[in-house]
Each structure stands twice: as structure tokens, then as C-alpha cells.
Amino acid sequence: MTALRSRSGQLRLVFAFVIGLLGCFGVTSDTWAGGPRHHRLVTVPQEDRFMPFALTIRAGETVEWVNLDTDDHTVVSDDSFNTAGPGGIDQLLPGTDSNGGRPGRFTLLFDKAGTFVYYCRFHAVLDADHQPVAPGPKGGIQGGSTFGTPSNFGTPMSGVITVLDDDGDEGG
């Protein structure tokens, strides 16, 4: 009897957890219910970073990267963590210096729920100790300045796009 009781207790816990998850996604789906397909932007400001770092979209939407920096950057899919596809992406985003003064642009369509993890291969490299660093005054990503001294974010140039399915659920 004791074993039975504890098993049903565990089941109740799992059930409550699942309901909780559904509740979270329910809130998310309300936001987009019946909305039109969107074209979303990720920009590279004049710093070594993607803005926003994290973006949540719905399957069927497109994301366009726009490089507003003078330097070249890249969008490379990290397929070890990529469940949304498309995989094998390695796209140059020319900076205004190498593109006749115009921002480099690149658009991807996401038609499958999951997570698209990506980085810039120019600014997400391994150092001699195989630690991820980006070029910068102290390693890491260059940010704004603090009292005239360039600061950095201390992380490689990367980003993540979470693609929810048509019902607003992640995966499935």
C-alpha cells in the first residue's frame, strides 16, 4: 500500500508539472493568437554582438540579420544545439566598409519549431587554452565604453532563436 501511495504521489507531481508547462505556453500563445506572419530583425550594432541576443518567433516567420557595423560578421548555425533548422548555415554579413556603405543583410525562413543557436565565427573563437573568446581589448565582445575605457561582455558573439509552432508550443 505504501509503495502504491507514493507512486500515485509521483504521478500527481508529474501531472502538476505538465499542467504548469502548458500554462506557460498558453500565456505565450495568447500573445500571437491569429496574428499575421512576421518578419523579424536581428541587428549587429557597431559592436560585436547580435541584438537581441534571444528572439522568440513562430514557425513560418522569417528572421533577417542586418549588419550595421563597419566590420564584417557572420551567421553560423551551431548544429550541435540546433533543433529548429535550417542547419549548415555559414553566411557572411558584410559590414558597411566592405559593402559600399550599405549594411549586409541575410534572411532565413524558420518553418519548424525548435531552437536555432548561432554564432559569428570571426568573434567566437577558442584561445590557446581552448576557452571561447572574441577579439577585443581584454578578450570577449566589445561593448560600450565605461569612463572612456572600452568594456566587453566577456562572451562570444552568438545568439539564439526559439521557434514556437503554429499553436505557440515549443516543439511538436
Residues 6+ apart with CB under 8 A from 21: none
For CA atoms 134, 41, 102, 93, the dihedral sign is positive
Q: Which stretch binds Cu ion (CB under 5 A): 6-14, 35-43, 54-62, 152-160?
A: 152-160
Distance between CA atoms of residues 30 and 28, nearest Å: 6
By CB neighbour count within 10 A (0-12 exposed, 13-18 middle, 19+ buried), where does 51 fall?
middle
Q: Which of residues 49-78 bind Cu ion (CB under 5 A)?
A: 73
Pick from 76, 157, 161, 163 the residue near Cu ion by CB under 5 A.
157
Q: CB nearer to Cu ion: give 150 or 171.
A: 150
Query: Nearest-CA neighbor of 68 among 91, 39, 102?
Result: 102
Query: Nearest-CA neighbor of 46 among 19, 26, 73, 27?
Result: 73
Q: Which stretch binds Cu ion (CB under 5 A): 24-32, 94-102, 109-117, 151-159?
A: 151-159
Pick from 57, 76, 117, 120 the residue near Cu ion by CB under 5 A.
120
Q: CB nearer to Cu ion: give 1 or 54.
A: 54
Q: How far is the CB of 120 from Cu ion (least distance, A)?
A: 3
Q: Position 59: which residue type?
A: A
Site membership for Cu ion, residue 153 (CB under 5 A): no
Q: How far is the CB of 52 from Cu ion (least distance, A)?
A: 16
Give the interface with Cu ion as residue ranges (CB under 5 A): 73, 120, 122-123, 157
